[in-house]
Amino acid sequence: ATDFGITEALKALGVNDINNGTSTGSNSFSNGDIIESYSPVDGQLIGKVKSTTKADYEKVMETATAAFKTWRTMPAPQRGEIVRQFGEKLRELKEPLGKLVSYEMGKSYQEGLGEVQEMIDICDFAVGLSRQLHGLTMHSERPGHRMYEQYHPLGVVGIISAFNFPVAVWSWNTALAWICGDVCVWKPSEKTPLTGIACQNIAAQVFKANGLPEGISCLINGDYQVGEFMTKDKRVPLVSATGSTRMGKIVAQEVAARLGKSLLELGGNNAIIVTPDADIKMTVIGAVFGAVGTAGQRCTSTRRLIIHDSIYDKVKNAVVDAYKQLRIGNPLDENNHVGPLIDKDAVKMYQQALERVVEEGGNVVVEGGVLEGEGYESGCYVKPAIAEAENHFNIVQHETFAPVLYLLKYSGDVENAIDMQNGVAQGLSSAIMTNNLREAERFLSQAGSDCGIANVNIGTSGAEIGGAFGGEKETGGGRESGSDAWKIYMRRQTNTINYTTELPLAQGIKFDL
């Protein structure tokens, strides 16, 4: 049996020999409990990693704080040069890293490569940005005065990430934080610790080659308790956390209690509106990829299709037909469309969702189920399912992180569909399929979609790094990646300089001595 080049990939990334958890080969001091990383692809143990204890964490923070003193004084374009080199290393290691992402997380090899490509793209973006950390200048009301603003680095940025984008989310944060002059401490998901170590190894090589302290990039391992070290730590001015809304609500409160900043990227409940003017062929591709890609484990996965009643049956039949073509199996085998869920807990949640939708009165049109037998030994492979449902169902209001798609019907004007699309607690990604300009513009207007991402004739998943990424409401309000998302990684300072021999006060206040 082929191992799809996994052994080689692990070796190339320096994570082939991790069975006692000590050899992170990088800036990690880990002496805690062992975390075992099993692949959802074949159920095999990939490696064992030690988690970070409180004492280890203190060492990490010392290293990070010391590294910040060097890093913050390096000119931003020079920091950009380091990020450029990091991007080059990622280009070299794209295939092994993409493979490890696929093997440890379970997404298809193509999506694993895509994730690494996203890391490369954000590095390129950050390099350019390193010469564009612009502040404004403004005219002072006082004669002989100059006023301007500067952006300065914050210090240690804490990054807590989810299992489903085990490497890209880290790089969205680090590439920007680094050019901004911050140092980063990363706690990857306890479900994907090896991709974390692989990334840390790559970053460490680049810092070392440039004679820079490795503490610019630090890694801590473990579950939520290790995350809490950072959320409760005053030395971490910004915590960027990606994961469930449940986690975000806790993290937001912990960080706010010490008046720190948090950047939250939480759950979605994304819909595609399909109007009578939709191109059905495009709709099917967008909806099916959106619902089953990454086995429905993207924050931007399509959960709901809101279809006009006049074309409901046509769209339903086309989507159901497309589901018949889906091949489920080893995601490293490029013939397959759908890989496994991350673990058996995720499988349970998927099964519960399918039971719940029926209990609430839904009608299953594509049956789900857990796959067994050869190739499915990990117990994590499930059949993508479709159910006809109503928007108000509890289960529809909830993000199930699995390939379950709900078909919802609307009638009348597109406004009714927009109300349904907005009628959930989450606000990440949304889309409309239409060739009708009025409908499209209404959807994008201030009276339209309330999400952070709103697309026309594109599905809900697959964002580009150039735009700011994130969502509203229970998605947490944070923005990462492109546009001016960099600003959250810096502190703004307003400077006023008086170059006269007088000291006039602002607002014309007289204070004679």
- Spatial separation of the C-alpha atoms in residues 488 and 480, rounded to whole Å: 9
> Using an 8 Å Cβ cutoff, are 86 and 206 in contact?
yes
Q: Which is nearer to ligand NAD, 207 or 469 (CB)?
A: 469
How many Cβ atoms are within 10 Å of 416's Cβ, its own excluded?
14
- Among residues 231, 275, 400, 481, the one that binds ligand NAD under rule CB under 6 A: 231
Stretch that binds ligand NAD, among 47-55, 241-249, 381-389, 481-489 (CB under 6 A): 241-249
265 is a site residue for ligand NAD (CB under 6 A): yes
Q: Where are the beta strands (DSSP E) in 167-216?
A: 183-187
Distance CA 285, CA 275 (A): 16
Q: Output phi, psi for 491, to 5 deg.
A: -110, 145
Phi and psi for 506 in degrees, rounded to 5?
-70, 160
In angstroms, give the least distance from the CB of 318 to ligand NAD. Answer: 27
Does position 99 bind ligand NAD by CB under 6 A?
no
Among 124, 224, 277, 311, binds ligand NAD (CB under 6 A): 224
Buried b / exposed e along 250-266 (16+ C-beta atoms within 10 A): ebbebbeeeebbbbbbb
d(CA 29, CA 311): 59
Of residues 139 and 234, the one with the C-beta less far from ligand NAD: 234
DSSP label of 172 = H
Window of 73-81, 116-124, 264-272, 348-356 that interacts with ligand NAD by CB under 6 A? 264-272
The binding track of 472-501 with respect to ligand NAD, each residue x by CB under 6 A or -, is ---x--------------------------
Binding range to ligand NAD, per CB under 6 A, among 65-73, 245-253, 304-312, 316-324: 245-253
β-strand partners of 330:
none
Tokens coding 415: 């406004």
18 Rama class: left (phi>0) / alpha (psi -120 to 50) / beta: beta
Contact pick of 251, 288, 402, 488 for ligand NAD (by CB under 6 A): 251
Does 250 sit near ligand NAD (CB under 6 A)? Answer: yes
Nearest-Å Rg of the Cα atoms of the chain is 24
| Contacts of 512 by beta carbon, 8 Å cutoff, 6+ apart | none
Q: How many amino acids of this chain bind ligand NAD (CB under 6 A)?
A: 29
Q: How far is the CB of 291 from ligand NAD (least distance, A)?
A: 14
- In the complex, minimum distance from the CB of residue 375 to ligand NAD, in angstroms, rounded to a whole number: 25
Q: How many CB atoms lie within 10 A of CB 63?
A: 20
CB of 212 to ligand NAD, least distance (A): 27
Q: Which is nearer to ligand NAD, 87 or 296 (CB)?
A: 296
In the complex with ligand NAD, which residue's Cβ is closer, 102 or 242? 242
Hey, which residues between 165 and 194 contact ligand NAD (CB under 6 A)? 165, 187, 189-190
**244 is a contact residue toward ligand NAD (CB under 6 A):** yes
Q: Does 223 bind ligand NAD (CB under 6 A)?
A: yes
Comparing CB distances to ligand NAD, the nearer of 61 and 247 is: 247
Q: Which of residues 312-371 bind ligand NAD (CB under 6 A)?
A: none
Q: Which residues are known to be catalytic?
A: 265
Contact 8, 96 (CB under 8 A): yes
Among the listed ranges 146-154, 195-203, 262-270, 305-313, the one in contact with ligand NAD (CB under 6 A) is 262-270
Backbone angle region of 144, left / alpha / beta, with phi > 0 → left and psi within -120 to 50 → alpha: left
- Decide: is 428 part of the binding site for ligand NAD (CB under 6 A): yes
Q: With CB under 6 A as the contact rule, which of the stretches 64-72, 113-121, 206-214, 240-248 interacts with ligand NAD?
A: 240-248
The alpha carbon dihedral of 502, 505, 510, 513 has a sign of: negative
DSSP helix, strand, coil percent of the chain (3-state; round to 5)? 40, 20, 40
What are 109's two structure tokens? Answer: 């090899």
| Token pair belonging to 100 | 């490890």
Judged by CB under 6 A, the chain residues 391 through 410 that form the site for ligand NAD are 399, 401
243 near ligand NAD (CB under 6 A): yes
Give how far Cα 216 sits from Cα of 65, 71, 116, 202, 429, Å: 9, 7, 21, 13, 33
Report, in Å, the least distance between residue 190 CB and ligand NAD: 5
In whole angstroms, how close is the CB of 120 to ligand NAD at the nearest point?
A: 19
Q: Does 380 bind ligand NAD (CB under 6 A)?
A: no
299 binds ligand NAD per the rule CB under 6 A: yes
Residue 304, SS3 per DSSP: strand
Supply the minimum distance, in Å, between the C-beta of residue 24 and ligand NAD: 17
If one asks whether residue 283 binds ligand NAD (CB under 6 A), the answer comes out as no
- Binding residues for ligand NAD (CB under 6 A): 160-165, 187, 189-190, 223-224, 227-228, 231, 242-244, 247, 250-251, 265-268, 299, 399, 401, 428, 475
